[in-house]
Amino acid sequence: MVISNEPGIYREESHGVRLENLVAVVKGELSEMGQFYRFEVLTLAPFERRLIATHLLTEEEREQLNAYHDWVYEELQGELNEVERSWLRQATLPL
């Protein structure tokens, strides 16, 4: 099954932000408690770095975002031409 993961925050009469990725529900661990399932990310795209209030991120959040951007670059760079790859490298630089 494919679903969308859409975490967001909305400030009444101000603004809202929602991030979206498509994920597949796939079999995970099997234990004495039964079959567990997990999400496998299907869509990869960098987050717009200029829109991130980096001063509000914890070190752990910064590391998670940088790891995600590293993953995006590594997964996609081989499918791109030189110009596209250069753009993606800039879009996925560490914060």
CA atoms within 13 A on the CB side of 89: 9
pLDDT in tens, 56-80: 899 999 999 999 999 999 999 999 9
pLDDT of residue 25: 97
Both 62 and 27 in one domain: the answer is no
pLDDT of residue 3: 95
How is residue 43 written in tokens? 């869509």
Both 51 and 92 in one domain: the answer is yes
Both 95 and 57 in one domain: the answer is yes
Both 28 and 61 in one domain: the answer is no
Both 56 and 91 in one domain: the answer is yes
Q: pTM for this structure?
A: 0.77
pLDDT of residue 18: 83
Report, as ranges of residue numbers, the positions in the chain whose pLDDT lies below 50: none
Both 21 and 58 in one domain: the answer is no
Both 8 and 27 in one domain: the answer is yes
How far apart CA 94 and CA 88 sit, in angstroms, is 12
* Full residue range of the structural domain in which residue 18 is found: 1-43
Listed residue (55, 47, 60, 59) closest to 18, CA to CA: 47
Helix axes 82-91, 59-76, angle to 10 degrees: 170
Q: Are 5 and 24 in contact (CB under 8 A)?
A: no
